[in-house]
Amino acid sequence: MMLELRKLSVNDGMDVYQMLQDIPLDENGFQNNVNGLSYEEYKSWLVKKAQEPELDGIVDGWKVPSTTYWLYADGVPVGFGKLRHCLTDALRKAGGHIGYGIAPQYRGKGYGKELLRLLIGEAYNRGIDKVLVTIRLDNKPSQAVALANGGVITEQTDERLLIWIDTKQV
């Protein structure tokens, strides 16, 4: 199995669009804003998302620079993730540095663990020493993925676990 992490591009096509239609709009707190969009709307979304890594500081009081990536397995997109380059106080409680989702038909095959591992590596390359992943209490599979990647639970709220991962260990 060949896994590859690809940065979002304005040239991404139908294969990514189809995968994004398979991942729910909002599942376990992870937002997939492409679910339900037309192909033309998706192409416009790509243009906006491609600009997000270049944001300067906090925009609109909450938006921080971030990069979106696709996970490909043997040339087929199976999931995606977002790496936020910094955190606001609100993101330290819910959201964290990394969010990710795997298309339902590819779950249970270890792709989530590998996607998170690769995103942690990208954070390390950006000079981020530790990343925060916030996971809802009832999302046991994602909790297992974070812990398998060296995560340490530092806090539990009424809704989620806050798990920090040292990027130097991955």
- Domain with residue 39: its CATH number is 3.40.630.30
Nearest to 71 by CA among 36, 103, 45: 103
**pLDDT (average), residues 8-18:** 98
- Which domain, by its residues, includes 117? 3-125
63 found inside a domain? yes
144 found inside a domain? no
**Is residue 143's pLDDT more than 80?**
yes
Domains of the chain: total: 1
Predicted confidence band of residue 35 (pLDDT cuts 50, 70, 90): very high
Specify whether the CB–CB gap between 36 and 24 falls below 8 A: no
Tens of pLDDT, residues 41-91 = 999 999 999 999 998 888 877 789 999 999 999 999 999 999 999 999 999
Specify whether the CB–CB gap between 149 and 120 falls below 8 A: yes
pTM of the model: 0.95
For position 1, what pLDDT does the model report?
Answer: 84
42 found inside a domain? yes
39 found inside a domain? yes
Nearest to 35 by CA among 141, 27, 75: 27
Q: Which helix (H) or strand (E) holds 54?
A: none
167 found inside a domain? no
Nearest to 75 by CA among 11, 19, 142: 19
74 found inside a domain? yes
d(CA 101, CA 114): 12
For position 126, what pLDDT does the model report?
Answer: 96
